[in-house]
């Protein structure tokens, strides 16, 4: 018998028990959908974080102060003199409040020339960047200037009342930033930037609590990290973007494996369902198998007949799961976003999360291969039983 004839016969037998076959395919599709949808979330989060870290560059280190003693200008000079250090960007970062905004915002004192170092690029909606002079002029983030429903709170040229310590200081908004999303150091959308010379004059201590250091090359990062730790001892905490990236990739890989393991358990039910439908199919067609063998059909052709049915169930089920998985992958952030507390305390109903799901061909391949392997294994014994039937056994069944 030709392989095409066996394929047509396999498909015809599945169509005869259409409803049962569809349910089995849907059971397979559930497993594929789960793997694709969940892996897309983990891959999307990984992509968002690595892209955010990439803005700073793998040669970047973040030095934060431990305790209450801030970094001084002498410390900055000492860092600039270390071997392997390309640039040193001192900053003074504090949490503050703004009149009219309920939640706290981040106040960042930094030179306007250094904004490129940790923003990647300065994208403005309105106004311009402040000058490096000790004056009360600020560059505000998108979420401070515009609320969650799109209403404008502040425009360039307008005053803004910022609380620093116990004092409330009136400052002038000179520029408004575009949206940036997440960042490993600060959230630019919810931050206020101002000249560090001015902030040092109104903050007690007058030092720096954060320093961004860039190495001359990625190869020097570990050496520079060790040097900074040696120079400052317990006064400072050194974190390299390279280390953060490696940790993120490791964690997301572990999460993906966990999600893959959880999703794969759904194939157990799908395998049992396939085994059940194939055994019933064999028992229902004993007379038919006996007649086919009496007409000259060989054992291996009967075996192939039922194995092809298993492949068809797995292939069609995986195709359905692929289509459903791609859709569910993009629906999940919308659902989760509706229950996520926004940065200013709002629910943000109907707004998506800050990452975009990434559907990986690797996990599509894993899900498809798993579904076909499961159906093949589930079909193996029923196919063997069918191949061992003899024409004379058909006489036992009415």
DSSP assignments along 313-362, one per residue: HHHHHHHHHHHHHHHHHHHHHHHHHTTSPPTTS---TT---SS-----HH
CA 168 – CA 145 distance, rounded (Å): 18
What is residue 394's predicted lDDT score, i.e. its pLDDT?
53
What is residue 337's predicted lDDT score, i.e. its pLDDT?
64
116-120, 252-256, 333-337, 347-351: segment of lowest average pLDDT: 347-351
In this prediction, residue 176 has a pLDDT band, given cuts at 50, 70 and 90, of very high
Report CA-CA distances (Å) from 165 to 94, 96, 108, 162, 169.
10, 8, 14, 10, 10
Look at strands 159-164 and 167-177 and give their pairing: antiparallel
What is residue 342's predicted lDDT score, i.e. its pLDDT?
46
Here the tokens at position 228 are 């900074």
In this prediction, residue 175 has a pLDDT band, given cuts at 50, 70 and 90, of very high
CA 161 – CA 168 distance, rounded (Å): 6
Q: What integer best gives the mean pLDDT of the chain?
A: 82
Q: What is the average per-residue pLDDT within 131-159?
A: 88
What is residue 351's predicted lDDT score, i.e. its pLDDT?
39
Here the tokens at position 297 are 């059909």
Q: Which long-range contacts (CB under 8 A, 24 or more apart) does 329-336 make?
A: 329/36, 329/37, 329/40, 329/41, 329/357, 329/359, 330/357, 332/37, 332/41, 332/357, 333/41, 333/44, 333/357
CA 96 – CA 163 distance, rounded (Å): 6
Is the pLDDT confidence value at 343 over 60?
no
Is the pLDDT confidence value at 348 over 50?
no
Would you report the helix, strand and coil content of the chain in percent, each value rounded to 5? 55, 15, 25
Look at strands 85-98 and 236-240 and give their pairing: unpaired
In this prediction, residue 344 has a pLDDT band, given cuts at 50, 70 and 90, of very low
Rounded to two decimals, what is the model's pTM? Answer: 0.65
Look at strands 137-140 and 167-177 and give their pairing: parallel
32 burial (CB, 10 Å; 0-12 / 13-18 / 19+) is buried
Q: What is the average per-residue pLDDT within 223-243?
A: 86
CA 326 – CA 176 distance, rounded (Å): 37
Nearest-10 Cα torsion for 128, 129, 135, 138? 80
What is residue 1's predicted lDDT score, i.e. its pLDDT?
61
């Amino acid at each position: 018998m030709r392989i095409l004839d066996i394929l047509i016969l396999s498909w015809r037998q599945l169509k005869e028990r259409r409803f049962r076959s569809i349910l089995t395919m849907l059971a397979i599709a559930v497993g594929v959908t789960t793997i694709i949808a969940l892996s897309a979330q983990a891959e999307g989060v990984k992509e968002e974080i690595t892209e955010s870290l990439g803005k700073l560059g793998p040669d970047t280190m973040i030095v934060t102060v431990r305790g209450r003693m801030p970094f001084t200008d002498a410390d900055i000079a000492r860092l600039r003199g270390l071997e392997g250090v390309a640039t040193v960007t001192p900053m003074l970062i504090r949490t503050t409040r703004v009149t009219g905004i309920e939640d706290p915002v981040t106040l960042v004192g930094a030179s306007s020339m250094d904004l490129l170092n940790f923003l990647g690029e300065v994208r403005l909606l309105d106004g311009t960047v402040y000058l490096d002079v000790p004056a009360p002029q600020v560059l505000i983030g998108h979420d401070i200037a515009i609320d969650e429903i799109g209403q404008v709170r502040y425009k360039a040229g307008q005053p803004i009342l910022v609380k620093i310590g116990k004092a409330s200081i009136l400052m002038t908004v000179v520029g408004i930033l575009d949206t940036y999303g997440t960042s490993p150091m600060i959230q630019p959308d919810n931050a206020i930037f101002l000249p560090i010379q001015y902030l040092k004059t109104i903050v007690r201590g007058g030092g720096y609590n954060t320093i961004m250091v860039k190495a001359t090359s990625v190869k020097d990062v570990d050496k520079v990290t060790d040097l900074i730790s040696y120079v400052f001892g317990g006064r400072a905490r050194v974190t390299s973007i390279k280390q953060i990236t490696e940790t993120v990739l490791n964690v997301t890989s572990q999460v993906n494996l966990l999600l893959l393991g959880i999703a794969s358990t759904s194939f157990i039910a799908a395998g049992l369902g396939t085994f059940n439908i194939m055994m019933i199919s064999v028992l229902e067609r004993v007379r038919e198998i006996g007649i086919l063998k009496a007409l000259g059909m060989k054992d291996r052709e009967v075996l192939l007949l039922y194995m092809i049915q298993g492949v068809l169930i797995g292939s069609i089920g995986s195709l359905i799961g692929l289509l459903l998985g791609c859709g569910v992958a993009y629906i999940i952030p919308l659902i989760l976003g509706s229950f996520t507390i926004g940065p200013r305390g709002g629910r943000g109903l109907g707004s998506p999360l800050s990452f975009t799901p990434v559907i990986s061909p690797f996990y599509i391949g894993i899900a498809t291969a798993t579904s076909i392997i499961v159906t093949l294994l589930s079909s193996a014994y029923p196919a063997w039983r069918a191949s061992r039937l003899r024409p004379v056994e058909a006489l036992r069944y009415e």
